[in-house]
Amino acid sequence: MQHRESSKRPSPFEEAAEQKSYRVADVQLAHCTQHNSAAVLCSTAGKIGRNGRSAAVGATLFWLTCPYLNTIVARFERHGAVSLLQKLLDENKVVAAKHVSSHTDYEKRAQALLSAERWAFFDSHFVSAGESTQGRKYGNAAVSHATDLKCLHALVAQSLCGASNIIGDAIIQYILLLSEKVKTFEKTLLTLDSQTNDDDHDGSDVADVDDDDNKDKDKDNSNGDDNKKINNSVALMNAKKSLDNVNALVSFVENSAVANEATDETSSPVLNADALCIAACNVLTFLEGRPPRLRKKHRLN
């Protein structure tokens, strides 16, 4: 009986949380017009157990709440971006060093935003705790080793909420770049479609000279039109493949790390949240052939 009672005793992380604030944002830190909130600070988004419904103070403070950003980052992850970026961290000392240094920026940002009492708890359990105790957590993704990579959503949220991270920063810029590529693809495809339509009408008003000759010409024109439509479809497919090529994302992150100095809080891309939401919508619409569903993310984790 004593064992059963002790097993029900709440953990320190649950005791430190205000249960009435379970998954309720402390403050909105990035705004997008479409969904109002793009990223938030929520210190009680943790959960106890697999199906837990109790609030808990966790090491992850910043959360993406814009559904378009969540969807496009999930798409990167689905195509293998996490493992490829982990490989980049393992092999590239420059990228790894910038990523590791961002953990300090995250802790400074956390201290600036949390109350003194909440920071003291956060510091003692996640920052000052040694790795040997498995309590030490690094960055918004709350990994156990400084060069580990787990969740790209966490890194993008960290950047949007004012704690610069080389990977999160680069993904933000990469989404904006993809949106510009989509505009170029759309113009090119529109031109190809227009040329195909123009060719469909060429010769339609020419007087008949010989029925057999006209039949042969019609057949040749039909084959040519079919080939052009196939080429247009191939062009569209190749454009979509290029947008889903996460190797390009990895190269972009690597080049960003080499070319740029780590940004400070004042130059964080937090002000780009609205443009970022629109860019993500443009890319997803092009890839999926329809606008993404307009729905709000109802839970943080």
- Cα separations (Å) of 127 from 103, 116, 119, 144, 273? 10, 15, 10, 11, 29
Task: For residues 192-201, give the mean pLDDT.
Answer: 56
Residue 294 pLDDT = 67
* pLDDT band with cut points at 50, 70 and 90 for residue 195: low
**Which residues, 6+ apart, have CB-to-CB distance to 56 below 8 Å?**
11, 13, 14, 16, 17, 44, 46, 47, 48
More confident residue, 8 or 283: 283
Per-residue pLDDT reduced to its tens digit, 118-137: 899 999 989 997 765 668 99
Residue 156 pLDDT = 97
Give residue 57's Cα distance to chain centre: 24
Residue 246 pLDDT = 97
Contact 31, 274 (CB under 8 A): yes
Per-residue pLDDT reduced to its tens digit, 2-15: 444 445 666 767 76
Percent of the chain with pLDDT over 90: 54
Task: For residues 195-210, give the mean pLDDT.
Answer: 53
Task: For residues 217-223, give the mean pLDDT.
Answer: 49
Per-residue pLDDT reduced to its tens digit, 109-120: 999 999 999 899
Identity of the amino acid at 266: T
Contact 177, 279 (CB under 8 A): no
pTM reported for the whole predicted model: 0.80
Residue with tokens 């040329």: 195
Per-residue pLDDT reduced to its tens digit, 164-173: 999 999 999 9
Residue 200 pLDDT = 53
**Which residues, 6+ apart, have CB-to-CB distance to 109 below 8 Å?**
161, 162, 163, 265
Per-residue pLDDT reduced to its tens digit, 18-40: 766 677 888 999 999 999 999 99
Give me the chain's average pLDDT, please. 81
More confident residue, 216 or 189: 189
| Full 3-state SS string of 254-274 | HHHHHHCCCCCHHHCHHHHHH
**Opening angle at CA 52, ends 49 and 57, nearest 5:** 80
Task: Enter the DSSP assignment of 295.
Answer: -
- Which region holds residue 165: left if phi is over 0, alpha if psi is between -120 and 50, else beta? beta
Residue 72 pLDDT = 97
